[in-house]
Structure formats: C-alpha cells, structure tokens
C-alpha cells in the first residue's frame, strides 16, 4: 500500500506503477487523489493548487500543467522539479494587506485588520531563557498570577488609546487573528488567494507563535519576563466552566459580548453542542469528545494536525481533530448565540474576525496549544507525532515582538514549547483513558431503519439526520477509517455534525457511547476566494471492537446535524484501510 505522505509535493519512485494500479477515479483535483495501490511506492498530491505558479520557467497554470502531462497519471514526471509544484506558504506581504471581511454584515472591514508597516523584517532568533515560563491552569492560578495578568491586559488596552498604531496594543493584537483568518492577506505570488491559518496543518504552529509573542508582550508591559499565560483547563471537569477570572465585570479580562447567560446556567461547558442541560452528561460528552479527537479517531499525523496546505492551495483543506473538536466547541460556547440580538454572528469568540477581542481567547488557545503538547508527549499511539514535510516546516508567519520589531518565524521551529521558553503545569488528564464501554449486545445493521446506500444519497445534505449504508473494506479485526470527502459548508455559519456507527439508540444528547465515531465543526469566517472542500477521516478500529462488528460486511453511518445542517453537503463517504504509518 502506498504510504500516506503528508506533503504537498508529488513524490513517486515508480511512475509506471501509478497508471497500472490506481483504483481511484481520475480527478483533475489533486487534493482529492490519494492512491492506495498495492504496487506503487510513494505517491500523493495533497494540496489543491489552482493558481498560476511562478517558477524559474515563468508562470505556469498548475492544473493545465498537470493535465497537459496526461492528467494525474503523468504527474510523476513533475518529480524533476518538485519545488515548482508546491512550496510552503510564505509570510504575507504587509504592504499589500487588503480588506478583511466582517462576517456579520458581509461587508469588507476596509483594511481595519491590517497591521502597521515596518521598515524591516528580521528572521526571528529565539532568545536564551533563564527559566521556563510555567503556564498555570486558569482556575488554579494564584492571586499574584491573576493580578499580573489583569495588569498586563490593562496596559495592553491602554496602548490602544495612547497609540492605536502600536503593534503591541490590544486591538492590534486582536487584529492579527482577523487578518490571518478573514482574507486580509493574499498568499505571496498568488494574487487573490487568501492566507487562512485555520482548517489545515498551519493551525497549531500559527497559534503557538501568536501566543508566544502575545505572552512576551504582556510580560514586557509589566516588566516581568517570567509572565505566563494561564490555560483554560476545559479538558478537566474542574476547568469545565468559564474560568472565574473572566467573569468579573470590572476586570480588564471581561468581555461584554460573551454569552453570559448560557455561561452561568447551567455553567458546564458544552464542547459538543449537545444541548444537554444535565451537568453530568455534559462532562461525559466533553470527555468523550476529547478522547475521540486525541486518541480514538486519529489514524494519521495530519488527522490530528490538519490537512496539508501549501503555496497555491485553496484555504481550508480540512481541520485537524482537535481544532475541529473542542477548540471549535469553546469558541461557539463563549460567543453570544442570540439569533435575534445584535450579536447573532457569535461575536466575539464565536467568529474568527472578532475572536481575538475577547481575552478568554488567549487563555482558551493556551489550552489548545497544551493539547498539542500532550498529544506529542503523553498520548500513546502508533501515529507519528510530527510532520516532516518541508512544506510544513518552512511555512512562515510574521509577528511583532515585544520590542515592536517585525519578525519572521517558521512553523517547523515551534515543535518544542520548552525551546520557546515555556511549559505547562501538569494536571490530571481524565479523558486519556475515557474509552466508551463496550456494547453488551451488538447492533445489527438490519435493526436500523431507513438507511440508504451512499450512491442513492450523494451528495448528502444535512438538513436532517442521515443514515447511510457503507461497505467495510475488509472483514475481521480491520484497521479502518471512515472518510468524509468534499465537505462543503456556508463558511459564514457555525457548523457542527456528529457521526455514529450502527447506532440503534439515536439518543443524540449522549455522546459517551461506543457508537460515537467523531465530529465536524466550523467557526464562521469569510474569505475573498472560494474555500476548498474539506476532508476528514475518523479511525474506526477501536470502535469496531467496542460494538463487536468485525464479521460484518457493511455498517450504517448516522450523521446527526447539530448546527446549520442545511448549509452542509458531503460529497463522498467511504471506509478505507488505515494507511501505513510513516511520519508526515
Ligand atoms: Cu484562530 Cu481558535 O482560532
């Protein structure tokens, strides 16, 4: 079987094997072609490159280039010049910063997200740190830590009035998120193709660097280089409420646009959009979802990290499991949800253009970042932890440091948080072994009413719950994954759906069941160009054991919409073997 390379380049050591053994339909869209051939060596094209590419030979249209070479089966010839095919996403050109989109009105934000310009850009060198900045859990932070945090945010807010162009100011820092998420920056060399740091493998490294500089700026504003950003410990029941430090109206950490009512009653975070009002059920759902996105549903490195995204790629090829899961859940839960009120677009937290305006964003993302650390350092799995493709390692971002210097950083330089001078206080991980109980009686496909074959349903719209019969790829104790392809959504809406296998019970408020396979979710955002269709894969290996269906030929996949299902279509659904594990 071909190894699933998490790369944007075309790699093949044996071009002839491709045409003779690929079982995939010929597609003009490279991103959707993943061959699973028994004989080919290594071949994958993962980034959907659509626009003109500037190469030493001048401009070439990538797609024509491929088709001109005989479609995808000729693509292996490109090995001669793989760098012409895909490159890492480059740092944006701030002098060309344009309008970002306000999702609420649909209007351009008139460059309001654009950062100030700088005379020069320096390649960032990590300083030597005398001591690690230890990030505490927000609900356990000491009085002194909270006082420092409040003072630092107060000073940051004051910069907004002193000098709105100071890149360390509160709104300037918030706008970084807007600019990298809502279309202000084009990809260098690809006019009108946005830089989007979500829904791909850029998600973790972008946010890690973003918080790094944010934390350093806060520290320098209060003259304390040991200042460490607290993390919202939402993966532990003790942290599954809004941290009390954010709930004081007079505090600089307060944000008036949070959904205060929903936050206070019943109080427990609903990471999974379950709608349950039972606090115990909410805790169980949250732990189930985190276990799924950290352990159970992950087959490959990019399942966790996010799908490959390179120079020339359409934005949003597919989110990683953690981004897609509890990360999105918190954004949605904190953002105001009153559909008739002035904040019907979930600002601040529930919308990318405004999320950085709520101080809880950085505390939330501190935990998102911590989950990456825990996945790398604690979670035991056969999945390689780090992406090794240069298209990932050399992807670049720009930030202002604490001295107002514009610096360039690379995605591959932030794998180890200790090299960045910080680490996390260790706390219990109650989700780590939260495997759902095995089914006592195995569910029979025939007991599940009104399931139809995929062929009769595609493309699937999620206006209501859908049940699809999908063939397994093998009998026995198969190591398989469910792939949902070409997921297309209205990106200005909050989207969430859950996936179950052979689910007879249909109790949608309870996720802590063996049949739960995983989810898809999205925070509203908008870009100039059309986004790519996303793919996600959900590993089924331990689920098969838990519902005891090793001997079956088919399963019934139930897809339950939780939010705006009418705005979701799924273009393909299949079960395939988990690809051979190679580092990405
Ligand atoms: Cu950049 Cu949580 O989003």
- pLDDT tens column, 246-279: 989 899 999 988 887 767 776 899 999 998 989 9
The active-site residue, picked from 32, 139, 185, 331, is 331
- Mean pLDDT of all residues in 302-318: 93
**Which of the pair, 552 or 482, is modelled with greater confidence?**
482
DSSP-derived secondary structure letter, 346: -
Identify whether 198 is a catalytic site residue.
Answer: yes
pLDDT at 54 over 50: no
Identify whether 16 is a catalytic site residue.
Answer: no
pLDDT 10s digits, 191-214:
778 899 999 999 999 999 999 999
Say how far apart CA 511 and CA 554 lie, in whole Å: 22
Instruction: Give the domain 445-577 fold.
Output: Jelly Rolls (2.60.120)
Identify whether 32 is a catalytic site residue.
Answer: no
**127: CA distance to ligand 1 center in Å?**
26
- CATH for 3-424 (3.40.640.10, 3.30.70.100, 1.10.1280.10, 3.90.1150.10): 1.10.1280.10
Identify whether 185 is a catalytic site residue.
Answer: no
Q: How high is the pLDDT of residue 10?
A: 30
Pairing state of beta strands 186-187 and 190-194? antiparallel
Q: How high is the pLDDT of residue 57?
A: 33
Please give the annotated binding residues for Cu cation, written as ranges: 177, 198, 207, 327, 331, 365
Task: Report pTM.
Answer: 0.86
pLDDT 10s digits, 217-250:
999 999 999 999 999 999 999 999 999 999 898 9
Ligand 1: does its nearest atom lie under 6 Å from the Cβ of 177?
yes
**443: CA distance to ligand 1 center in Å?**
38
Q: How high is the pLDDT of residue 366?
A: 98
Tokens 């599940």 belong to residue: 448
Query: What is the spatial order of strands in the sheet that 452-453 belongs to?
Result: 452-453, 466-471, 554-563, 495-501, 516-522
Identify whether 177 is a catalytic site residue.
Answer: yes
Query: 175 Cβ partners below 8 Å, 6+ apart?
Result: 112, 113, 114, 115, 356
- Mean pLDDT of all residues in 120-143: 97
Q: What atom in ligand 1 is closest to the CA of residue 181?
A: 1
Cβ atoms of 186 and 98 closer than 8 Å: yes
**200: CA distance to ligand 1 center in Å?**
12
The active-site residue, picked from 32, 139, 185, 207, is 207
Q: Which of 79-88, 354-363, 468-477 has the lowest mean pLDDT?
A: 79-88
Q: What atom in ligand 1 is closest to the CA of residue 206?
A: 1
Ligand 1: does its nearest atom lie under 6 Å from the Cβ of 198?
yes
Two structure tokens written together for 552: 């079956």
Q: For residue 123, what are the β-bridge partners?
A: 408
Q: How high is the pLDDT of residue 491?
A: 87
Q: What atom in ligand 1 is closest to the CA of residue 203?
A: 1
Ligand 1: does its nearest atom lie under 6 Å from the Cβ of 331?
yes
Through-space distance between the first and last CA atoms of the chain, rounded to whole angstroms: 16
Q: What atom in ligand 1 is closest to the CA of residue 197?
A: 1
Domain ranges of the chain: 3-424, 445-577
Q: If residue 133 lies in a helix (H) or strand (E), which one and from where to where?
A: strand 133-135
- Mean pLDDT of all residues in 317-342: 87
**135: CA distance to ligand 1 center in Å?**
19
Cβ atoms of 66 and 75 closer than 8 Å: yes
**352: CA distance to ligand 1 center in Å?**
7
């Amino acid at each position: 079987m071909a190894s699933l390379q998490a790369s944007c380049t075309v790699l093949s050591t044996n071009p002839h094997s491709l045409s003779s053994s690929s079982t995939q339909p010929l597609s003009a869209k490279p991103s959707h072609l993943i061959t699973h051939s028994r004989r080919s060596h290594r071949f994958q094209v993962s980034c959907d490159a659509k626009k003109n590419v500037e190469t030493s030979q001048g401009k070439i249209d990538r797609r024509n280039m491929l088709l001109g070479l005989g479609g995808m089966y000729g693509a292996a010839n490109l090995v001669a010049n793989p760098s012409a095919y895909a490159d890492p996403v480059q740092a944006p050109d701030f002098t060309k910063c344009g309008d970002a989109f306000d999702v609420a009105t649909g209007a351009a934000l008139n460059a309001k997200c654009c950062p100030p310009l700088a005379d020069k850009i320096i390649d960032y060198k990590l300083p030597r740190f005398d001591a690690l900045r230890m990030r505490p859990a927000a609900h356990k932070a000491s009085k002194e830590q909270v006082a420092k945090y409040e003072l630092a945010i107060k000073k940051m807010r004051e910069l907004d009035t002193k000098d709105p162009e100071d890149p360390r100011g509160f709104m300037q820092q918030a706008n970084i998120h807007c600019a990298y998420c809502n279309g202000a920056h084009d990809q260098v060399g690809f006019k009108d193709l946005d830089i989007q740091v979500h829904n791909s493998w850029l998600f973790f490294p972008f946010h890690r660097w973003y918080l790094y500089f944010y934390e350093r700026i806060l520290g320098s504003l209060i003259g304390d280089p040991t200042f460490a950003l607290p993390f919202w410990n939402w993966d532990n029941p003790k942290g599954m409420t809004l941290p009390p430090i954010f709930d004081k109206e007079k505090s600089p950490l307060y944000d008036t646009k949070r959904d205060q009512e929903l936050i206070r009653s019943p109080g427990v975070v609903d990471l999974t959009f379950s709608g349950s009002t039972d606090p115990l059920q909410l805790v169980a759902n949250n732990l189930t979802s985190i276990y799924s996105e950290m352990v159970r549903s992950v087959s490959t490195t990019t399942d966790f990290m996010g799908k490959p995204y390179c120079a020339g790629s359409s934005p949003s090829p597919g989110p990683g499991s953690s981004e897609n899961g509890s990360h999105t859940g918190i954004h949605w839960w904190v953002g105001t949800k009153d559909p008739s009120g002035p904040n019907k677009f979930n600002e601040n937290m529930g919308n990318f253009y405004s999320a950085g305006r709520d101080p809880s964003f950085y505390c939330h993302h501190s935990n998102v970042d911590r989950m990456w650390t825990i996945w790398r350092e604690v979670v035991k799995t056969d999945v390689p932890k780090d992406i090794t493709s240069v298209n990932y390692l050399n992807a670049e971002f720009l930030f202002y440091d604490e001295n107002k210097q514009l610096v360039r950083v690379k995605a591959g330089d932030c794998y180890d948080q200790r090299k960045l001078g910080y680490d996390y206080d260790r706390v219990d991980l109650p989700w780590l072994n939260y495997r759902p109980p095995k089914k006592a009686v195995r569910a029979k496909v025939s007991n599940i009413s009104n399931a139809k074959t995929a062929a009769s349903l595609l493309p699937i719209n999620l206006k209501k719950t859908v049940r699809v019969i999908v063939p397994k790829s093998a009998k026995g104790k198969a190591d398989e994954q469910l792939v949902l392809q070409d997921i297309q959504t209205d990106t200005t809406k909050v989207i969430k759906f859950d996936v179950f296998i052979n689910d007879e019970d249909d109790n949608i408020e309870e996720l802590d069941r063996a049949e739960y396979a995983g989810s898809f979710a999205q925070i509203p955002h908008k870009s100039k160009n059309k986004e790519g269709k996303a793919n996600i894969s959900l590993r089924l290996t331990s689920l098969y054991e838990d519902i005891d269906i090793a001997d079956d030929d088919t399963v019934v996949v139930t897809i339950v919409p939780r939010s705006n299902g009418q705005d979701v279509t799924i273009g393909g659904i299949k079960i395939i073997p988990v690809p051979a594990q190679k580092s990405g």
